[in-house]
Chain A
Amino acid sequence: MLDERRTAIHNSNLIAFLGGSFASFGFFFLPVIEIKPNRLASGLPVSLLEIPGDMRYLLLFLLALTPVLLAFVGDRNRRGWALVAVGNLIVVLTLYLPALAGSAYLSGAEALFEAGTRISNPRILTSAGIATGLAGGAITLFAGLLDLERSGASRLARGLAGAVGALVVIVMLAGGRLDVYSIMVEYHARGEALALRFLEHIVFVLVALAAGLIVGIALGLWASRDARAEDAILYAVGIIQTVPSLALFGILLVPLARLGDAHFLSLARDWLLLAGLALAAALVLRRFHARLPERTRQFSLVTVIFLALIPLALLAVLIIAFGFEVVLTILTMAELALLRSLTGLAIFVFPIFMSAGKRYDLERKLPHYQRLRFLPLLAAALGGLTLLAQGAGELLGTNELAELTIRDFGVSGIGTAPAIIALTLYSLLPLVRNTYAGLKNIDPAIIDSGKGMGFTAAQSFFRIELPLAFPVIMAGVRNAAISLVGIAAVASIIGAGALGDFILLGVNSTSIDQILLGAVPAVLLAVILDAALKVLEGLLTSPGIRQA
C-alpha cells in the first residue's frame, strides 16, 4: 500500500504541480495590471478575479489550477501533451486577457478615479500577477516537455509544441493585440532608438568578448606554462573582478582623455619608437638567450614581454575603439545593407562547408575541395574588408591627416573606449581561469607524445592543447558573455549608450516600463547568446572528447 503510494508520487509530475500552483497563486493574490491616471500618480491595482464582466477571467484562473491536478495523471504521454497545451494556453492568455480588460478600463477611465484626479495619458501597467502567470505557464510547459521527452516523443514534435505559445505571442505583438500595455506604448514611441541601443549592446559584448578572448587565452596560456607567473596572473584577474564597475570606468577616464587629445601622427611616431625598441630587445634576447644563465634569461624574458605589452595594449585599445565605431557606422549605413548580408551569409556558409566536408567525405569525392572550402571564407574576408574600409572612410574621411587626433578614432575619457576596456577587463576572470584550467588539465603524456612526434610549440598549442581545452574555455566564454550583457548595461553611465540608457532613464523617472524596455532585450540577448555559444561549442568540439 505504502509502496504503491510511493510509486504514484514517483511517477507524478511535481514540476507541473509547482507551475500550476505558482500561476494560480499569482492570479488569486496578486494584481495583474495597474491602471494609472497619468505618468506620476500612483495606480489602481486590479487582480484577475476582480475584473468585472464575463466568465473568461475565472476560466483562466481555473485553467491555471489544472496542472496541479494533471500532475497526478499516470499516463506520461497524455499527461505531457495536456501539460504542453495548458502551459502554452496559460502563457498566451495571461498576456491577452488582461490586455482586453485593460482596454475596457481605459475607455472608462474617468469613472475609476476620484473626481479631481488629473487624467492625462492614462496607462495600463503589467503587474506581478502577469509575471507569476507567465512563469507558471512556462514551468508547466517545461514540465510537459520533460514528460514528452521521457515518453519518447520526437525532437521535432517537442520543439514545435514548445514554441507554439511563443509564436502566438509574437503574432499578437505584431498584430498590435498587446499595444494597450504601457511598455508597448513606450516601445512604439522609442522603437528605433531601442533597435540601435540593442545593436550597440550586442557589439559591445561581442567586441569585449573577442578582445577578452585574445588577452584571456594568452594570459591563461602564460599562467599554465610558467609556475611563477601562475599565482600573480590568477590573482590579478581576480582582483579586477572585485573593482566596482563604476570605479573602473572612473579610473580609466583620465588616461583615456589624455590619450584622446593626442595627435594621431605624433602618437604614431612614439608608437613606432616603442614597438621598435621592444622588437630590437626581443631580437637581441633571441640571439643570446641560450648563453644567458637561467635566472637572467627569465628576467630578461619578462622585461621584454612587458616592453612589448605597452605598444600592443595601445594598439589594441585603438583598434578596438575604432573598430567599434566603424562597426556601428557600418550597421547604420543604409547603402551597405546588401554587402553586409552577403558577408554575413559567407561567414555562415563556411562552417556548413567545413562540417559537410567531414560528414560526407567531400575531401575525397571533390578533387579541389581543400581549396574550395576556403572560398566562402575568402568571400567573407573580402566583403568584411570592403565594409571596414567604407565605415572607416565615413568616419575619418573629412579630416586632414595632420589634424587627426586619437579622439577621431573613438578614444576618449568617456563613451566607447573606457566602456570596452572595462568590459574586456571584466571578461578576463572566467576566460583566464577556464583557459588555465583547461590547459592544465590536459594529460601531460598527450602533449609529450605530440612533442615527441615532432609538433612545433605552435602546432602543439593549436592542434592539441586548444582543441582539448576548448570545451572548458567555451564554458568560460559563456560565463563571460552573460555577465558582460549585464555589465554593459552599466556603461551607459559614462555615456557609452547601449540598453543601459533605457534602464537609467527609467530609474531616474521611476518608470518601470522604460526599465523593462532596456532589461527585457538584455535578458533575451543573454539567453540567445548562451544558446548560440552552446551550439557553437557542440559544433566545434571533437566527438572524441565530447561529454557523453
Chain B
Amino acid sequence: MIEFKDVIKEYPNGFRAVDDLNLTVRDGEICVLIGPSGCGKTTALRMVNRLIDVTRGEILIDGQPNDEFEPEVLRRQIGYAIQQIGLLPHMTIRDNVAIVPRLLDWDEERIRQRVDLLLDMVGIDPSIHGDKYPRQLSGGQQQRVGVARALGADPPIMLMDEPFGAVDPITRAILQEEFLQIQQEVSKTIIFVTHDIDEAIYMGDRIALLRAGRLVQYDTPDDLLAMPRDDFVREFVGADRSLKRLHLISVKDSMMNNVPCCDHDASLEEVAACLQRRQSDSAFVVDASSGVLLGWVERADLAESRSLAEAMHHAPAGSIAVPEDATAREALSVLLSHSFDLTPVIDAEGVLTGGVSIQRLQDLVEAPGIHAAAQPERRR
C-alpha cells in the first residue's frame, strides 16, 4: 500500500508542482495518475522512490514513511520504468534485466533463471535476444525489456511513467493488454502515469486526475466517467465519455435475460400468443432442442404464412447477434447498424442467452456509478 499524506512539492524556484496530495494506492491495484502536461504526475511519481524529495507531508509505504529507508535501498525494492526506457546501451538485454538482482547480490544462477523467466513473460525470447544489445531491438521490444527490467527483483511496488508512450498505437495496445495479463499473475501495487485517457480507463483500477498539482478526482474508471466531479473532469474525459463507459461494461452485465423468443417447431398460433403476451412486434426463433439462435419472426409476416418456417427470417447467429463477452459498446454498434429495438446475445455455442436494447444502454449510461462491479472480466 502506498499513501500520499498531505504531500507538497515546491521546486527550488518556488514553483509548487504537487499541492497537498492525499492518495492511497491499495495493494495489487493499478493507480493511474493522469492529467494535462505539467500537472505534476511525474513529480508525484518520483517522490515515491525519492528521486525527488517531498517538501512537506510524507509518503508511506506499507505504513512506513519512505524517508526512513536509504534512497538506494528503497529504490531497489521498487520497480521503475520510464517512457524513454533508459536501457543501458553497453549491457546486453540479459544484463539489463539482471541489474537490480545484481545490485541486491543475488547469486548468478538465480539471476539467470529469473532473467530468462522475465524475458519469456514479456514475450522476448531470451535464447534469441538475450545476448543482443538494446540498439539491436525495436522500440516495442525495448519497451518490453524495460518492463522486464522493472520486474527484475520481483519488487512489490512498480512505478511506471508513461511506459508505453514512445511506441506506435498498435504496439501500445498490444503492450497494454499483455501487461494487464502479467499484472494478473504478479499482482503488483502500481502507480502508472499517462496523459492518455483511453489508456487510463483501460489500465487503471483507479484513476487519479490531477490538475496543476492538485488531485481533482480519484475514482474507478467507471465512476470517473459516470460522475465527473466538475467541468474540468468532464472536459478531460471527453464528450464521448458515455461511449467510453459502454466500453467498460460487458454485454453479459448489461443484457436482459428475458427476451421474446419461440422454438422453431412452434405453431403460428403459439407464436402469435407469445407476441401478444410480450406486447412485442417480433420474436427470436431458436432451435427447440439446443436453444441455438436461428433467426427472427415479425408479427406482420404471420398472416400470409402457413408455418413458422415460412414466416421467419433466417439469419446466421453471427450476423445479427453479439457474443456475451463483447463490450456494451459493440452491442450498441450492432443495434445502430441493424435498426433493431433489441439485439440478441449469444454464448460461445450460439445459444440465445438474452438481449440488449437501446433503452437499456441509455439507462446504464445515465445511472451513476452502480457499475463498479459490472466491469469486464479481466479484473482480479
Contacts and interface: CB of A to CB of B under 8 A. Distances in A.
A451 B75 contact: yes
B259 interface: no
Interface string A388-420: 000000000000000000000000000000000
Given A454-B72, A455-B103, A544 B82 contact: no
Nearest to B12: A294
Nearest to B93: A544
A445 B135 CA distance: 15
A363 B108 CA distance: 9
The bracket for how many chain A residues form the interface is: 20 to 34
B86 A542 contact: no
B134 A544 contact: yes
Nearest to B75: A454
Contacts of B12: 294
B144 to A, nearest CB: 15
Interface in A425-462: 443, 445-456, 459
Contacts of B149: 453
Interface string B61-103: 0000000000011111000101011111111100000011001
A164 interface: no
Contacts of A448: 51, 82, 84, 86
A468 B82 contact: no
B133 interface: yes
A455 B133 CA distance: 20
A521 interface: no
B327 interface: no
B72 A455 contact: yes
A131 interface: no
B80 A542 contact: no
A544 B75 contact: no
Most-contacted residue by chain A among B49, B80, B86, B91 (CB, 10 A): B86
A147 B73 CA distance: 59
A530 B71 CA distance: 43
Contact of A542 (B73, B76, B85, B91): B91
A34 B92 CA distance: 62
A530 B318 CA distance: 74
Contacts of A445: 82, 84-86
Given A542-B133, A543-B133, A544-B134, A453 B89 contact: no
A545 interface: yes
Interface in A513-535: none
A467 B90 contact: yes
A184 interface: no
A63 B51 CA distance: 72
A512 interface: no
B91 A544 contact: yes
A453 B99 contact: yes
Given A363-B108, A543-B133, A544-B135, A454 B88 contact: no
Interface in A366-401: none
A274 to B, nearest CB: 33
A464 B80 contact: no
Nearest to B161: A452
Nearest to B104: A454
B51 A452 contact: yes
B103 A454 contact: yes
* Residue of B49, B74, B152 ringed by the most chain A CB atoms within 10 A: B49
B103 to A, nearest CB: 5
Interface in A256-297: 294
A199 B92 CA distance: 41
Interface in A334-365: 363-364
Nearest to A467: B90
A450 B86 contact: yes
A545 B87 CA distance: 12
B374 to A, nearest CB: 37
Contact of B80 (A447, A453, A544, A545): A453
A294 B11 CA distance: 13
A451 B135 CA distance: 21
Contacts of A449: 80, 82, 84-88
Contacts of B133: 542-545
Contacts of B159: 452
B72 A456 contact: yes
Contacts of B85: 445, 449
B123 to A, nearest CB: 21
Interface string B277-315: 000000000000000000000000000000000000000
A454 B90 contact: no
A454 B100 contact: yes
A468 B80 contact: no
A459 B85 CA distance: 19
Residue in A294, A448, A468 whose Cβ sees the most chain B Cβ within 10 Å: A448
A451 B82 contact: no
B76 A446 contact: no
A438 to B, nearest CB: 13
A417 B84 CA distance: 49
A452 B12 CA distance: 21
A452 B103 CA distance: 12
A364 B94 CA distance: 15
Contact of B75 (A294, A453, A545): A453
Given A294-B12, A452-B80, A542 B75 contact: no
Contact of B86 (A443, A459, A467, A543): A443
Contacts of B75: 451-454
A544 B108 CA distance: 22
Interface string B318-331: 00000000000000
Contacts of B134: 544
Contacts of B51: 448, 451-452
B89 A454 contact: no
A468 B89 CA distance: 8
A545 B12 CA distance: 36
Contacts of B76: 453-454
A452 B75 CA distance: 6
A446 B86 contact: yes
B89 A446 contact: yes
A452 B73 contact: no
A456 B72 CA distance: 6
Contacts of B86: 443, 445-450
A248 B332 CA distance: 85
Interface string B135-178: 10000000000000100100000010000000000000000000
A544 B89 contact: yes
A447 B82 CA distance: 12
Contacts of B88: 446, 449-450, 464
Interface of A: 294, 363-364, 443, 445-456, 459, 464, 467-468, 542-545
19 contacts: A294-B12, A364-B108, A445-B82, A445-B84, A449-B87, A452-B49, A452-B75, A452-B80, A452-B82, A452-B159, A453-B80, A455-B103, A467-B90, A468-B89, A542-B90, A544-B92, A544-B133, A545-B89, A545-B90
Given A294-B12, A454-B74, A454-B76, 5 more contacts: A445-B84, A448-B82, A453-B80, A454-B75, A542-B89
**Ranked 10 nearest A-B pairs via Cβ:** A449-B86, A544-B133, A445-B84, A542-B90, A454-B76, A452-B80, A454-B75, A445-B86, A544-B90, A454-B72
